[in-house]
Structure 1
Amino acid sequence: MKITVIGTGYVGLVTGACLAEQGNHVFCLDLNQEKIDILNAGGVPIYEPGLKEIIERNLAYGRLIFSTDVSAAVAYGDIQFIAVGTPPSEDGSADLSYVLEAARQIGRHMNRFKVVVNKSTVPVGTADKVTEVIAQELLNRSLPSENFSVISNPEFLKEGAAIEDFMRPDRIVIGSQANAAGFAAKEMMRQLYAPFNRHHERTYYMDVRSAELTKYAANAMLATRISFMNEIANLADVLGADIESVRQGIGSDTRIGYSFLYAGTGYGGSCFPKDVSALAKIAEHHGQELKLIKAVEEVNEYQKNILVKKIINRYGKDLAGKTFCLWGLAFKPNTDDMREAPSRVVIRNLLMRGAQIKAHDPVAMHEARLAINGDMSDCTELLEDLSFHEDPLDAAQGADALLIMTEWKSFRSPDFHTLKQALAAPVIFDGRNIYDPQLIIDQGFEYEGIGRKAFQEPSYLPELFILKNQIMNQASQIVSDAASGGLIQH
């Protein structure tokens, strides 16, 4: 099939590359000439494992086109994916200006039946607005206004695992309009996604508004689980419980499961913060208050500062003269995405308190520099106290403590002996609970996790072992006496 993808951001690029990998011919449109030049040269402007190889392969096969030519893009694809950004407005609602402009360009240039697919995360009712915009453009050109149909096909991609998620999806959600054009569009989408349903049907067909709400509801549920577990972890700190034991205890319930029950420094990225806020605004616009969703946001904002609170408890409010090594900048591993990353909150707060920071991330340092420079625009002089290091041990050299902000695999099993020698003081603040507390303490470190505690033998255990040995000795003596008296035979 011939496909057009409008927007070569995270969602658009993964969508276009993966559809080309299935044998479709895909035209990817973006108005950023610099980005298009990078893509045509075989480069990738974002970090996503496996994406570069797919793009290179399909460019070579001639199944991928990258261009800034709007009219050519609209003319090319029978299916037009809108995959542009929907950044949060000042009030937290989704900004639809890019989506509606894409729809406007489709209406201005289309010359035959088109299926227009909203791939961007958009508020409920956006399909109606896209329909209105395209219909008005067709009317302006004196063309039939029913010669297209709008589909809602939300993405469910995890950054760092997007290729796997697209190629082997848990579900494919298709929201279509209940008219003749909608039925034709639904059938075209069925054909497009047929290769993903060979083993079993993964597609859920529904009305457009239900599909739009499904995306927000899914992200809000996952964000809720994270914030819930962070609250329980903070309570575990106070009570002296271990959140990892609690996680295993509740996760074993099949009604709950283990996914998204890991405590840490809060969620970030391009989806959860934006979508949770937008869902609350959608409800507010319709006279509803989502109290639970607002609480999820509040807990997450609090949690982003949890390591700073632990550091203040350890060193005091004035951190002048202290140096902290920070491992991990991206909001999660296997991505360079710094949007809403908790590390940004921690870095700003520590710098504001006079600390020096030596930071390392395997892939996100370029994006981190850009993001943090923006965060510190009101106090740029403090950026002198922030340095970036390609080598994690170099970043640790002379630091008063190590902070773990992203759970990269390369951080999980460092040479603790070398790390201890590099640090000025053997202190670890584990913001992602990637280490076993007892293991770290046995290595001679002071450890502070999120709701974690080291297992310590109860004080009565030595007495218990003594009592056990006494009983065993007495039992052996009784058996020996009985044998010598002929009461038992060997």
Structure 2
Amino acid sequence: MQLSVIGSGYVGTTIAACFADLGHTVVNVDIDTEIVDAINRGEPPIHEDGLPELVAAHAGEDGTGRLRATTDYTDVLETDVTFLCLPTPQQADGEIDLSIMEAGAKQLGETLAQKPDWHTVVVKSTVVPGTTEEVITPLLEEASGKAEGEQLGIGMNPEFLREGTAVHDFRHPEKVALGADNDRTLEDMHEVFAPLIAEADPHIVETNSRTAEMIKYANNGFLATKVSLINDIGNICKEFGVDAYEVADAIGLDDRIGEQFLRSGLGWGGSCFPKDTNAIIHAAKQQGYSPAVLEAAVEVNDNQPERLLSLLDQHVDVADQKVAVLGLAFKPGTDDIRNSRAISVIEGLKDRGASITAYDPVAAANMRERFPEIEYADSAVDALVDASACVVCTDWDEFAVLDEEFDQMEQPVVVDGRHVIDASGDLTYEGLTW
């Protein structure tokens, strides 16, 4: 099929490249000329495992030609299905900001007014239940002069892509949720995903757009709560001198619980869990219901960085002392620092008067924009030299092999927020929840 993808962030670029790899012809539309130029050179605009190979294979001079990028919305007219993959950032009160999404939908509608034939639009961005039906559809109808279900199909297809493993997650989905309010839209969505379904054999969920929207929030809300619950249990284990990871291994054997997302530690961050959890809490309250469990999950998560710092306080007064911060991305495999737990840790260290030297294999440049005043090292070893303490905020594999490198610290004190350091020798070691 001929597909268009509006937006070239983590989701947009990933699905565009993956759809091209499945045999579709894809045009990625974005207003940023630098991003468009990068894709057309065969280079991804984001750090994501496996994405450089896909973009190089299908875009650029040496690619198959099945993927290209443009700033021109009229290129959508040559396609059959358009995916809306635009940001829905979180506002201060937790509500999502739909302004970018609304502007994109309006511009898409104005473009589709020039097309006499049927066109299907699929909302891929995460939006609260009812948004596709009550906000996006009216905008598209008014701007295009077309009626949904007659000349225009509008559906919702939530994404379940984890940053750092987004390409793998796209290729090996456990489920594909197709939200559509008419049969033709559902047929188009099935045709788009037919190659993936044939290859990966996922569960197929056919539903309406409102339910598809809620599935995404329920999915992330459940996982976020599971992480906060195991962190709460881990905190209790710490107080009793019990190995939280041994406990997690045991309870993970129960198929009602499962072993995934049972690594207690510094908590969750990124663009999805915090935004989605806060958004559905806000939306529920707007309907007159307060989701106590989700609110508790957020509270536990928000407290974990301060818990790490309180453990550090028990070993060293960091005022005017060098502290090494290892890991800045919200998780390994990405350069994304949005809602990274390292941000709260760094802010807490600054409040304590510490001299901070930070290191991350790929995210240092992004964090430098947030904290230009702190030092950034070129390696973990450089960060550790003469440090009076070290905190670990991201579980990059390279940190797991650190050993004698800690001997270069002024005081070998490590508080590990991710259970990645193998403590040995004279190292004073504190795990966050073990």
Name the TM-score, length of structure 2 as normaliser: 0.95
- 8 A contact 1:324–1:401 mirrored in 2: yes
- Given residue 324 of structure 1, which amino acid in structure 2 is its aligned partner? V
- Per the TM alignment, residue 44 of structure 1 is displaced from its structure 2 partner at its CA by 2.2
1:83-109 residue CA offsets vs partner (Å, 9 max, x unmatched)? 000001221111111222222112211
- 8 A contact 2:14–2:167 mirrored in 1: yes
Match 2:153 to one of 141, 149, 154: 149
- Given residue 70 of structure 1, which amino acid in structure 2 is its aligned partner? Y
1:273-308 residue CA offsets vs partner (Å, 9 max, x unmatched)? 000000101111111110111111111111122211
Tell me the residue number matched to 2:259: 258
- 8 A contact 1:20–1:64 mirrored in 2: yes
The equivalences for 1:11-90 within 5 A come to: 11-59=11-59, 60-72=63-75, 74-90=76-92
- Given residue 167 of structure 1, which amino acid in structure 2 is its aligned partner? R
Tell me the residue number matched to 1:376: none
Name the TM-score, length of structure 1 as normaliser: 0.84
Tell me the residue number matched to 1:103: 105
Secondary structure of the structure 2 residue equivalent to 1:421: helix
- Per the TM alignment, residue 239 of structure 1 is displaced from its structure 2 partner at its CA by 1.6
Match 1:393 to one of 381, 406, 409: 381
- Per the TM alignment, residue 401 of structure 1 is displaced from its structure 2 partner at its CA by 1.8
- Given residue 341 of structure 1, which amino acid in structure 2 is its aligned partner? S
2:131 paired with 1:130:
no
Please give the alpha-carbon distance, in whole angstroms, between the structure 2 residues aligned to 1:304 and 1:396.
20
Please give the alpha-carbon distance, in whole angstroms, between the structure 2 residues aligned to 1:38 and 1:107.
27
1:132-152 residue CA offsets vs partner (Å, 9 max, x unmatched)? 11111233xxx5563111111
2:421 paired with 1:435:
yes
- Per the TM alignment, residue 435 of structure 1 is displaced from its structure 2 partner at its CA by 3.3
Secondary structure of the structure 1 residue equivalent to 2:371: helix
- Given residue 66 of structure 1, which amino acid in structure 2 is its aligned partner? A
- 8 A contact 2:316–2:389 mirrored in 1: no
Tell me the residue number matched to 2:428: 446
Please give the alpha-carbon distance, in whole angstroms, between the structure 2 residues aligned to 1:183 and 1:405.
48
- 8 A contact 2:11–2:85 mirrored in 1: yes
Please give the alpha-carbon distance, in whole angstroms, between the structure 1 residues aligned to 2:201 and 2:64.
29
Please give the alpha-carbon distance, in whole angstroms, between the structure 1 residues aligned to 2:292 and 2:268.
19
2:173 paired with 1:185:
no
- Per the TM alignment, residue 357 of structure 1 is displaced from its structure 2 partner at its CA by 1.2
- Given residue 331 of structure 2, which amino acid in structure 1 is its aligned partner? K
2:179 paired with 1:175:
yes
Count how many residue pairs are aligned between Structure 1 and Structure 2. Answer: 425
Tell me the residue number matched to 1:299: 300
Please give the alpha-carbon distance, in whole angstroms, between the structure 2 residues aligned to 1:365 and 1:6.
28
Cα 1:393–1:144 shift into 2, 3 Å: closer
Secondary structure of the structure 2 residue equivalent to 1:403: strand
- Given residue 92 of structure 2, which amino acid in structure 1 is its aligned partner? E
The equivalences for 1:102-251 within 5 A come to: 102-110=104-112, 111=115, 112-128=117-133, 129-139=135-145, 146-177=150-181, 182-198=182-198, 200-251=201-252
Identical amino acids, percent of aligned pairs: 36
Tell me the residue number matched to 1:345: 344
Cα 1:69–1:393 shift into 2, 3 Å: same
- Per the TM alignment, residue 41 of structure 1 is displaced from its structure 2 partner at its CA by 2.4
Secondary structure of the structure 2 residue equivalent to 1:85: coil
- Per the TM alignment, residue 314 of structure 1 is displaced from its structure 2 partner at its CA by 2.1
Secondary structure of the structure 1 residue equivalent to 2:315: helix
Cα 1:200–1:391 shift into 2, 3 Å: closer
Secondary structure of the structure 2 residue equivalent to 1:325: strand
- Per the TM alignment, residue 355 of structure 1 is displaced from its structure 2 partner at its CA by 0.6
- 8 A contact 2:42–2:58 mirrored in 1: no
The equivalences for 1:313-332 within 5 A come to: 313-316=314-317, 319-332=318-331
- 8 A contact 1:265–1:305 mirrored in 2: no
- 8 A contact 2:5–2:29 mirrored in 1: yes
The equivalences for 1:259-298 within 5 A come to: 259-298=260-299
Secondary structure of the structure 2 residue equivalent to 1:358: strand
2:412 paired with 1:426:
yes
Specify which structure has the higher proportion of helix: 1
Please give the alpha-carbon distance, in whole angstroms, between the structure 2 residues aligned to 1:133 and 1:420.
58
- 8 A contact 2:321–2:388 mirrored in 1: yes
- Given residue 195 of structure 1, which amino acid in structure 2 is its aligned partner? P
Structure 2 residues not aligned, in runs of 5+: none
- 8 A contact 1:40–1:66 mirrored in 2: yes
- Per the TM alignment, residue 313 of structure 1 is displaced from its structure 2 partner at its CA by 2.3
Tell me the residue number matched to 2:357: 358
Secondary structure of the structure 2 residue equivalent to 1:120: coil
Secondary structure of the structure 2 residue equivalent to 1:304: helix
Structure 1 residues not aligned, in runs of 5+: 374-382, 453-490
Moved more, 305-314 or 18-27: 305-314
Secondary structure of the structure 2 residue equivalent to 1:246: helix
